[in-house]
A and B are shown apart, each in its own frame.
Chain A
Amino acid sequence: MAAKKTIAIIGVSGDMGSALAKALVNSNYRLLLMSRDKSKVRKLSAYLKRKTPTAEVAVVECEKEACWEADIILLAVPYRVEKEVAEKIREVTTQKVVIDVSNPLNESYDHLITAPDTSAAEELQKALPSSKVVKAFNTIFATDFTQRIKEGNQIKTFIAGDDQEALQTVSEMATAMGLKPVLCGSLSAGRKLEQMILQLIELKTEENYNNIVGRNMYRHAPITFKSVIR
């Protein structure tokens, strides 16, 4: 029997963070939930335990503690605060797999704010030089995790990274969530994956423009686009 791996989800009260937590709660991982929004994270924890009574879920107060205890870190925070979070967790994430799900979008969601010769994933790797950064899950809209998977669709998730073992770890995680992992090469392929979201947003926006009017779109990058695809 394999020892259970622990995943810390940082920024878990956001749309993407909570979608990932819900998708992972039925699999054989122990989850540590961390968010600055204490009441939201407590509610989410209670919900997950109700939904899956056997799940091992714990709320952890700070980023560093959560990452220290974890084997795998899922960084589900907006791109603009990634560097700040990286600073806090650097010391306790050496040699660990850190998954970057962010999309570095501008406020109108039609442009990337990273320079053309880099990506959010590569910037995170620079900020965490001794960690194994992997880009994954950024092309999936938060609602797809719950709705489309429930409907029996197998969604692909594109995974990019430089460390073979880390890619394997994330592929296993994706499979456990009911996703189909597709390896796309080294971490610099993160640029392609982050560009991809622009196309996807454009498509969704055309389909469903009216739904987004009046919603707060600025807090959690592409993740908020769950509202777009409703």
Chain B
Amino acid sequence: MFELLHKKINAIISINEDELNYCKTLFLPKKLRKRQYLLQEGDVCKYQAFVEKGMLRSYHIDEKGTEHILQFASEGWWMADLSSYITGETSLFNIEALEDSQLLLLSKISWDQLMQRIPKFEHYFRIIIQNHLIATQKRVIQSHTETSEEMYLKFIQTYPECIQRIPQHMIASYLGISRETLSRLRKHLVSHR
């Protein structure tokens, strides 16, 4: 149940068996079926989720009822509304399973306990959050400066293993373009390959 997380942790810091066993007592193992929510808008985000299997998406619904996808997370990725998780304020996001998923959830209390007891986890999570921040900043800039085609190509790069698993209309929503534009783009790319 912890193989992938253990591998991912060991890629950044190295933990021994005792530390891994302690780690295991803090995570809440959770299965979600497709289309079930981990978080709904208006709730407080109580957990950071590590995806062992399956896929999650986080999205926001605007006043007109349009969905805007912020992030996808497949195997080995973390997902949370960090702002709500850290401040305890209610979330503006929804987090939903795109497939039947297996998650390892970490509450704020457990997170603090983990870093207190094994301080090198501070380093692990700094790297995770740092990477997340970089990706977020790039995404903001990219949405102002790049063409739809460039954005789509970057998307394929970021989520290479997911491209077949995510419905097209969600990819369009993530990129902030219409379904029709995405469809034209894909045809164009195929014909120029």
Contacts and interface: CB of A to CB of B under 8 A. Distances in A.
Given A3-B37, A95-B110, A71 B43 contact: no
Chain A interface size, as a band, is 10 to 19
A130 interface: yes
Chain B interface size, as a band, is 20 to 34
B128 interface: no
Interface in A86-103: 91-92, 94-96
B26 A3 contact: no
Given A91-B1, A95-B107, A3 B40 contact: yes
A69 interface: yes
Given A95-B26, A130-B25, A69 B40 contact: no
Contacts of B110: 95
Contact of B40 (A1, A68, A95): A1
A94 B28 contact: yes
A2 B28 contact: no
Contacts of A4: 37
Contact of B41 (A1, A65, A129): A1
Interface string B51-68: 000000000000000000
A6 to B, nearest CB: 8
Contacts of A69: 30-33
Q: Most B CB atoms within 10 A — which of A2, A3, A71?
A: A3
B39 interface: yes
A71 B43 CA distance: 16
B43 A2 contact: yes
A95 B42 contact: no
Contacts of A2: 40, 42-43
Q: Most B CB atoms within 10 A — which of A1, A94, A129?
A: A94
Interface string A33-70: 00000000000000000000000000000000100110
Nearest to B44: A2
B41 A94 contact: no
A91 B39 contact: no
B43 A3 contact: yes
A95 to B, nearest CB: 4
Contacts of B107: 95
Interface in A1-19: 1-4
B171 interface: no
B82 to A, nearest CB: 18
Given A68-B31, A69-B31, A94 B42 contact: no
Ranked 6 nearest A-B pairs via Cβ:
A95-B28, A130-B25, A3-B37, A69-B31, A3-B40, A68-B31
15 contacts: A1-B41, A2-B42, A3-B38, A3-B39, A4-B37, A68-B29, A69-B30, A91-B29, A92-B1, A94-B25, A94-B26, A94-B28, A95-B27, A129-B25, A130-B24
Interface of A: 1-4, 65, 68-69, 71, 91-92, 94-96, 129-130
Interface of B: 1, 24-33, 36-43, 102, 105, 107, 110
Given A94-B25, A95-B26, A130-B25, 9 more contacts: A1-B41, A1-B42, A1-B43, A3-B36, A3-B39, A68-B31, A94-B29, A129-B25, A130-B26
